[in-house]
Chains A and B, each alone.
Chain A
Amino acid sequence: AQKVTQAQTEISVVEKEDVTLDCVYETRDTTYYLFWYKQPPSGELVFLIRRNSFDEQNEISGRYSWNFQKSTSSFNFTITASQVVDSAVYFCALDDDKIIFGKGTRLHILP
């Protein structure tokens, strides 16, 4: 079955702390794409990253980094030195011709 699990429903951290959002996926495919999206209170889906299953290198983009581990079927997302503007719901997702989303993690960054 194609499935994405985000076990953390809600996380609260104080500004400037680092925070990691977990994502575990299940897929029958050997080649696949994984995604992270941010959904701010305004509701749109903001694309953050798309990762091919062949590429297990960790990726860093500013304060954001992603750790892809095929052996544990995980694609975790870390925000370093969090800011209040990072408060949002974050979705991990899997490309199965259609996009399969996890249930999301609501992140609160407290000033």
Chain B
Amino acid sequence: EPEVTQTPSHQVTQMGQEVILRCVPISNHLYFYWYRQILGQKVEFLVSFYNNEISEKSEIFDDQFSVERPDGSNFTLKIRSTKLEDSAMYFCASTMIMGRWSNQPQHFGDGTRLSIL
């Protein structure tokens, strides 16, 4: 079964550095998402992306964050100047058809654990 893949599985970065988290969504999917989970807390929506544009973003997704689909397969999340509080697990997800009325579920990757030192 096709999978969403995320690399790296663990990223350690110095505070203030830029970091790029990478995701390869399922190939025929059109909608892409990033979620964040701070250690011990719930999974929170960051951003959704469709047709090379952000569809929706949460209040967490401030100017330090950006997303890009640089080619036909990758979907990236960039954090410009990392802070200690950016330490979290970041999940990528994709789906073919978006919407609470769709019968197409979101497929999640295994996550990238980001540690800011």
Instruction: List residues of A whose CB falls within 8 A of some B CB.
Output: 29, 31-33, 35, 43-45, 47, 50, 52, 91, 93, 95-104
Quick one: given A91-B42, A91-B43, A100-B45, are A44 and B110 in contact (CB under 8 Å)?
A: yes
Interface size on B, residues (CB 8 A): 24
Quick one: given A50-B105, A99-B35, A103-B41, are A43 and B111 in contact (CB under 8 Å)?
A: yes
Q: Are A101 and B48 in contact (CB under 8 A)?
A: no
Q: Are A98 and B48 in contact (CB under 8 A)?
A: yes
- In the complex, what distance in Å separates the CA atom of A91 from the CA atom of B89? 15
Residue in A44, A47, A97 with the greatest tally of chain B CB atoms within 10 Å: A97
From B19-27, B62-70, B78-86, B93-101, give the one contacting chain A.
B93-101
Q: Are A29 and B42 in contact (CB under 8 A)?
A: no
Chain A residue with minimal CB distance to B113?
A43
Quick one: given A101-B44, A102-B42, A104-B42, are A95 and B108 in contact (CB under 8 Å)?
A: no
- In the complex, what distance in Å separates the CA atom of A47 from the CA atom of B110? 11
Q: Are B42 and A101 in contact (CB under 8 A)?
A: yes
Contact partner of B45 (CB less than 8 A), chosen from A91, A99, A102, A103, is A99
Quick one: given A32-B100, A43-B89, A45-B91, are A98 and B108 in contact (CB under 8 Å)?
A: no
Residue in A29, A43, A52, A100 with the greatest tally of chain B CB atoms within 10 Å: A43
Chain A CB within 8 A of B56 CB: yes
Chain A residue with minimal CB distance to B103?
A52
Contact partner of A97 (CB less than 8 A), chosen from B41, B98, B103, is B98
Interface of A: prevailing SS = strand
Q: Are B91 and A97 in contact (CB under 8 A)?
A: no
Inside 8 A of A32's CB, which chain B residues have their CB?
100
Contact partner of B56 (CB less than 8 A), chosen from A95, A98, A104, is A98
Chain A CB within 8 A of B33 CB: yes
Chain A CB within 8 A of B106 CB: yes
Residue in B33, B99, B106, B110 with the greatest tally of chain A CB atoms within 10 Å: B106
Within 8 A of A (CB), among B24-59: 33, 35, 41-45, 48, 55-56
Chain B residue with minimal CB distance to A4?
B42
